[in-house]
């Protein structure tokens, strides 16, 4: 198994935010979470070290609460990327295997390409492998300068490049695979004789060549995977790229997306074939949607939703932390949260599961068994259970559990006063 070092110490000044850059989210998941998950999903790593700095306690809280195999290391002061990696030296002093180094603000990197990257590093018996990408317009990127045999000679920053080097379209993607046993000594030799007074990770390329190590590059086929987040505009663009990637994958697997331009689906959502997603839907978080479902238009799934086959979630319906079994419909203007809904259930328009007590701040569960019918504009005040086959009349406010096959009515009887309007004139 190999280790990973994830650089997440930067402030992200251009984000104009009090929040650390790596905690900004796409589909409510922090950027650094996408990077840690990509590393973990390779199946090749067993431990990650997240280098933190700006508002370190916030990043550390997220990592600690969500990952058991990741540890945060404080970088203070922050003296560059090479210095950041060196913070892991005390934790890896006896480690002799491979280490991958990534940036915590590149959420589009995939585990598939990381596996290929690591495998090429091993197949070529490399000591240092840098990930590269090809850009038609490589402005502002460090250029990969190769030797005639294809190995990497150097990385030249644009401000230092001559015209010939500026014409190179292969750029440094900022991800490295390192034979730690051979290369860890480099971090004691890095110099900070530059305008910023920082220690650059890119300098290990020159160090490797000076020490006769094997230095190579792995070129990405999709350069969007190393798209970095430095501004709100970058965040929006990355969100769009990730969403399009997800929609294309789902459509290739047999899901109908009626309008990809107005549909947003998180990459952690699984949808079976022959389900239709209508326009203007937002599906967030982790969800599992079965076959032959119809979602939308204007539906919002907020995460932890499991839908059986042939379920209909219609227009202006919001669902969160809810399991719904097959052949159940919630077609209009409904909120289902913290609920279990059975099969062959009909949820009338305007139904709300009132799952939150604002006084105790406790959320409770609503359970709706098979074959239940809920009338329009009903409120089910959790915790409550509607047993099998029961019917709830329209405008019902249900505060007690309803037995099987019963009818629950809470509204006042209808009174009709003949000629009342005429009498008022």
Residues 329-344, mean pLDDT to the nearest whole number: 98
pLDDT at 158 over 90: no
* 138: CATH: 3.90.550.10
Does one domain contain both 280 and 385? yes
Query: Would residue 332 show up in a list of annotated catalytic residues for this protein?
Result: yes
What value, to the nearest 5°, has the Cα angle with vertex 173 and ends 168 and 174?
Answer: 130
For 350, list phi and psi in degrees, rounded to 5: 85, 10
Whole-number pLDDT of residue 193:
85
* Burial (Cβ within 10 Å: 0-12, 13-18, ≥19) of residue 140: exposed
Is residue 92 left, alpha or beta, with left meaning phi > 0 and alpha meaning psi from -120 to 50? alpha
Does one domain contain both 108 and 179? yes
Whole-number pLDDT of residue 412:
86
Whole-number pLDDT of residue 157:
87
pLDDT digits (tens, 9 = 90+) for 181-215: 999 999 999 998 887 889 999 999 999 999 999 99
- Say if 424 falls within a structural domain: no
Query: Facing residues of 269 across strands?
Result: 287
Helix or strand run (H / E) with residue 136? none
Does one domain contain both 216 and 276? no
Does one domain contain both 115 and 172? yes
Q: How is residue 395 written in tokens?
A: 């405008």
- Say if 425 falls within a structural domain: no
- Say if 232 falls within a structural domain: no
Percent of the chain with pLDDT over 70: 100
pLDDT digits (tens, 9 = 90+) for 67-116: 999 999 999 999 999 999 999 999 999 999 999 999 999 999 999 999 99
Does one domain contain both 222 and 258? no
State the total domains in the chain: 2
Cα→Cα distances 109→41, 262, 272, 302, Å? 11, 24, 25, 24
Whole-number pLDDT of residue 196:
81
- Say if 94 falls within a structural domain: yes
Does one domain contain both 209 and 272? no
Does one domain contain both 55 and 138? yes
Query: Facing residues of 146 across strands?
Result: 152
- How would you label 162-185 residue by residue, b for 16+ Cβ within 10 Å and e otherwise? eeebeebebbbbbbbbbbbeebbe
Whole-number pLDDT of residue 254:
98
- Say if 357 falls within a structural domain: yes
- For residue 42, whether the previous peptide bond is cis, meaning omega lies within 30 degrees of 0, is no
pLDDT digits (tens, 9 = 90+) for 358-408: 889 999 999 999 999 999 999 999 999 999 999 999 999 999 999 999 999
Percent of the chain with pLDDT over 90: 92
Does one domain contain both 39 and 149? yes
Does one domain contain both 342 and 395? yes
CA distance 177 to 187: 15
pLDDT digits (tens, 9 = 90+) for 304-315: 999 999 999 999
Whole-number pLDDT of residue 159:
85
Q: What is the pTM of this model?
A: 0.93
How many other C-beta atoms can be found within 10 angstroms of the C-beta atom of residue 402?
Answer: 22
Q: Are 304 and 288 in contact (CB under 8 A)?
A: no
DSSP state of 344: S
Catalytic one of 54, 64, 83, 332: 332
**Backbone CA torsion sign across 94, 178, 151, 146:** negative
pLDDT digits (tens, 9 = 90+) for 1-43: 899 999 999 988 999 999 999 999 999 999 999 999 999 999 9
Q: How is residue 202 written in tokens?
A: 């890119």
pLDDT at 262 over 80: yes
Q: How is residue 70 written in tokens?
A: 């990741």
Range of the domain at 293: 253-408
pLDDT band of residue 414 (cuts 50, 70, 90) is confident
Does one domain contain both 315 and 351? yes
Give the chain's mean pLDDT.
96
Placement of tokens 């331009």 in the chain: 261
pLDDT band of residue 417 (cuts 50, 70, 90) is very high
pLDDT at 413 over 90: no
Does one domain contain both 185 and 279? no
* 392: CATH: 2.160.10.10
Placement of tokens 């501004």 in the chain: 231
DSSP 143-204: EEEE-TTS-EEEEE-GGG--HHHHT--EEEEEEEEEEHHHHTTHHHH----STT----TTHH
pLDDT at 319 over 80: yes
pLDDT band of residue 336 (cuts 50, 70, 90) is very high
Coarse DSSP helix, strand, coil percentages of the chain, rounded to the nearest 5 percent: 25, 30, 45
pLDDT at 425 over 80: no
Q: Which residues fall within 8 angstroms of residue 9, CB to CB, at 6 or more apart?
A: 51, 52, 53, 54, 56, 75, 78, 84
- Say if 247 falls within a structural domain: no
- Say if 377 falls within a structural domain: yes
Does one domain contain both 217 and 263? no
Placement of tokens 């509204």 in the chain: 411
CA distance 97 to 33: 24
HSE-CB for 148 with a 13 A CA cutoff: 0
- Say if 352 falls within a structural domain: yes
Whole-number pLDDT of residue 411:
87
């Amino acid at each position: 198994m190999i280790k990973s070092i994830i650089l997440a110490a930067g402030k992200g000044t251009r984000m104009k935010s009090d929040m650390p850059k790596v905690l900004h989210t796409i589909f409510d998941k922090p950027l650094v979470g996408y990077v840690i998950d990509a590393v973990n999903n390779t199946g090749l790593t067993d431990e990650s070290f997240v280098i933190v700095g700006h508002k370190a306690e916030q990043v550390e809280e997220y990592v600690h609460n969500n990952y058991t195999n990741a540890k945060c290391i404080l970088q203070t002061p922050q003296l560059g990327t090479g210095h950041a990696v060196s913070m892991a030296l005390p934790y890896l002093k006896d480690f002799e295997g491979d280490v991958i180094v990534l940036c915590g603000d590149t959420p589009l990197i995939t585990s598939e390409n990381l596996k290929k990257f690591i495998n090429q590093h091993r197949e070529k018996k490399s000591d240092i492998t840098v990930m590269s990408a090809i850009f038609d317009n490589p402005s502002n990127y460090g250029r990969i300068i190769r030797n005639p045999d294809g190995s990497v000679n150097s990385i030249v920053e644009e401000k230092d490049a001559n015209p010939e080097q500026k014409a190179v379209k292969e750029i440094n993607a900022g991800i490295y695979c390192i034979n730690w046993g051979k290369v860890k000594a480099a971090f004691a030799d890095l110099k900070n004789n530059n305008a910023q007074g920082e220690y650059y990770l890119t300098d290990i390329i020159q160090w490797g060549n000076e020490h006769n190590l094997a230095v190579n590059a792995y070129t990405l086929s999709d350069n969007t995977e190393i798209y970095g987040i430095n501004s709100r505009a970058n965040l929006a663009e990355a969100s769009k790229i990730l969403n399009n990637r997800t929609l294309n994958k789902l459509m290739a697997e047999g899901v109908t997306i009626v309008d990809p331009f107005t549909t947003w689906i998180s990459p952690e959502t699984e949808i079976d074939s022959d389900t239709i997603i209508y326009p203007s839907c937002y599906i967030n978080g982790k969800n599992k949607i079965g076959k032959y479902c119809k979602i939308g238009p204007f539906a919002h799934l907020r995460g932890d939703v499991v839908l059986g086959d042939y379920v209909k979630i219609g227009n202006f319906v919001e669902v969160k932390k809810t399991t719904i079994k097959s052949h159940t419909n919630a077609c209009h203007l409904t909120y289902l949260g913290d609920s279990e809904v059975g099969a062959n259930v009909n949820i009338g328009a305007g139904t709300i599961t009132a799952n939150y007590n604002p006084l105790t701040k406790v959320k409770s569960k609503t359970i709706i068994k098979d074959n239940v019918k809920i009338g329009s504009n009903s409120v089910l005040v959790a915790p409550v259970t509607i047993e099998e086959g029961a019917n709830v009349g329209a405008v019902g406010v249900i505060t007690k559990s309803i037995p099987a096959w019963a009818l629950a009515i809470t509204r006042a009887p209808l009174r009709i006063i003949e000629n009342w309007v005429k009498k008022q004139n």
